Amino acid sequence: MKNRKNELAKKYIKDIKSADVWSVFKIIADFVKGFDDLGELGPTVTIFGSARTHKRDPYYKKAQKLSSMLGSVGFNVMTGGGPGIMEAANRGAHKHEDVESIGLNIDLPFEQTTNPYTTKELSFDYFFSRKVMLVKYSMAYVIFPGGYGTLDELFEALTLIQTRKVTGVKVFVVGVDFYKPLIEFIKKNLYESDMISLEDLHMIHLTDDLETVVDEIEASLLEQIDLLKEVGLGGTSYCKSLLDFAVKKHIKKRDT
């Protein structure tokens, strides 16, 4: 194990510090692999959270329950493919035969081992290409308690939505007790200092109500279909897959 950690550490130092043109091809390979294997997934929700969460932890159980609820409706579930919250989410989706339980893994010198509850698994060399795939092919992001990596993914998602690089995607933060101090910091230090707008603040849906999360994701499906049509992507296989899903599940627009 120690030798593996050392080899992985040396590999990343070499990749980062060198100007080797072969690194470019490895980056391209990461993206091509993701585009080929994930491009026609259909409605998918990405769940983020700590790799260190134990099976007895209430948030492990919540992540498993939420992904099972999403799977029962027909949504694929995608995670980083590792242990902890990722394992819980894949585990909840895995028992539903008509959905995919996707794990996008990455070699790390510590923590990351592939969980056994995936139906589709990809391995990436680079964090940034893996992160693109985790957000590109999802219609909602659910953030469970986690550390630096999870917070990075949360703020990456918020930045993409704020800058309109992705549209129609909702961010749900599960864990009111865990995340409330962070949300208060964002409100007091960022919003009240005019560093973000009220609209930016409202991008974060903090809740422990799993049924609300599922209902809101389902309701946002038609909004995303309309957005895809508006920008000329109504004929793409992805948009068609969302539309077929909405028809199959009898999803209708809410009364306003």
Question: Over the stretch 174-203, which tens digit does the pLDDT of each residue have?
Answer: 999 999 999 999 999 999 999 999 999 999
Q: Which residue type is seen at 66? A: L
By CB atoms closer than 10 A (0-12, 13-18, 19+), residue 123 is middle
- Is residue 222, in this structure, part of any structural domain at all? yes
- Is residue 203, in this structure, part of any structural domain at all? yes
Q: How confident is the model at residue 241, as a pLDDT? A: 83
- Is residue 235, in this structure, part of any structural domain at all? yes
Q: How confident is the model at residue 251, as a pLDDT? A: 78
Backbone angles phi, psi at 205, to 5 degrees: -105, 100
Matching residue, tokens 């549209």: 167
- Is residue 194, in this structure, part of any structural domain at all? yes
Q: How confident is the model at residue 47, as a pLDDT? A: 98
Instruction: Say which CATH number the domain at 103 has.
Output: 3.40.50.450
pLDDT in tens, 206-247: 999 999 999 999 988 888 888 888 888 888 878 888 888 888
Q: How far apart are CA 109 and CA 91, in angstroms?
A: 24
Q: How open is the CA angle 116-93-57, to the nearest 5 degrees?
A: 75
Task: Report pTM.
Answer: 0.86
- Is residue 44, in this structure, part of any structural domain at all? yes
Q: Residue 75 belongs to what domain range?
A: 2-248
pLDDT in tens, 42-70: 899 999 999 999 999 999 999 999 999 99
For residue 103, what are its two tokens?
């794990």
Q: How confident is the model at residue 114, as a pLDDT? A: 84
Range in 2-16, 56-70, 153-167, 216-230 with the lowest mean pLDDT: 2-16
Number of domains making up the chain:
1
- Is residue 157, in this structure, part of any structural domain at all? yes
Q: Order of strands across the sheet with 170-174? A: 120-124, 101-106, 76-79, 44-48, 140-143, 170-174, 204-207
- Is residue 52, in this structure, part of any structural domain at all? yes
Q: How confident is the model at residue 12 (pLDDT cuts 50, 70, 90)?
A: low
- Is residue 255, in this structure, part of any structural domain at all? no
